[in-house]
Amino acid sequence: DAGVIQSPRHEVTEMGQEVTLRCKPISGHNSLFWYRQTMMRGLELLIYFNNNVPIDDSGMPEDRFSAKMPNASFSTLKIQPSEPRDSAVYFCASSAGTGNSPLHFGNGTRLTVT
Amino acid sequence: DQQVKQNSPSLSVQEGRISILNCDYTNSMFDYFLWYKKYPAEGPTFLISISSIKDKNEDGRFTVFLNKSAKHLSLHIVPSQPGDSAVYFCAASGYFGNEKLTFGTGTRLTIIP
């Protein structure tokens, strides 16, 4: 089991540019989550999908953020246009979605917007 | 508004002694609580959990205690080992299980050899 795979590991971009983060969940998992980690707020849930359908996007900061899950093995989080305050570590996680099955996190993408 | 609070950003403990990490929550609808451990440059990994119908859950060196009336939980690590040095996140979820976890800001634990 390769675990949750995120790419890229690091992204440095200039303000105003479009950023796309990618995630491959664990095969067979039907729930996928995008979290953002900052020093001040810890891990914040941005959005989660169940069976490829967005269930709760109330954590998405604003319209500059969008997420898609076109199939069970791939999801993207896009920021357009990016701003310096978006700098953070973005984690993708997946779970089997049955009862209280734990979340399995990827190693994150560290985003720096200059 | 932080619904899950970890008021100690850092904690240092001598190797072999007990480490106690604390967590408070404000939402009375939370009924399932978890601890995750995170090493640098890695994602958090699940450590231990507890349901609101229990007040204690033990797994090897790790024990989680839940005090529902105080809306407080704690993680005890006995004995502490150098490999336990990491950031520990407390998390909580509501009736629908862990489909939506609310995390605290984390506590950095350093075990001193």
pLDDT tens-place string over residues B23-39:
999 999 898 999 999 99
For all residues of chain A together, what is the average pLDDT? 93
The string of pLDDT tens digits covering residues B75-89 is: 999 999 999 999 999
Q: Smallest CA–CA separation between B89 and chain A, in Å?
A: 9
- φ and ψ at A76, to 5 degrees? -130, 150
Among partner residues A4, A41, A102, which is closest to B98 by beta-carbon distance?
A102
Has residue B1 got a pLDDT over 80? Answer: no
Has residue A4 got a pLDDT over 90? Answer: yes
* A78 contacts: CB under 8 Å, gap ≥ 6: A18, A19, A20, A21, A65, A66, A67, A68
Does A108 reach chain B within 8 Å, measured CB to CB?
yes
Searching chain B, which residue's CA lies closest to the CA of residue A43? B103
Write the DSSP string, chain B: --SEE---SEEEEETTS-EEEEEEE--TT--EEEEEEE-TTS--EEEEEEETT-SEEEETTEEEEEETTTTEEEEEESS--GGG-EEEEEEEE-TTGGGS-EE---EEEEEE-
Has residue A1 got a pLDDT over 70? Answer: no
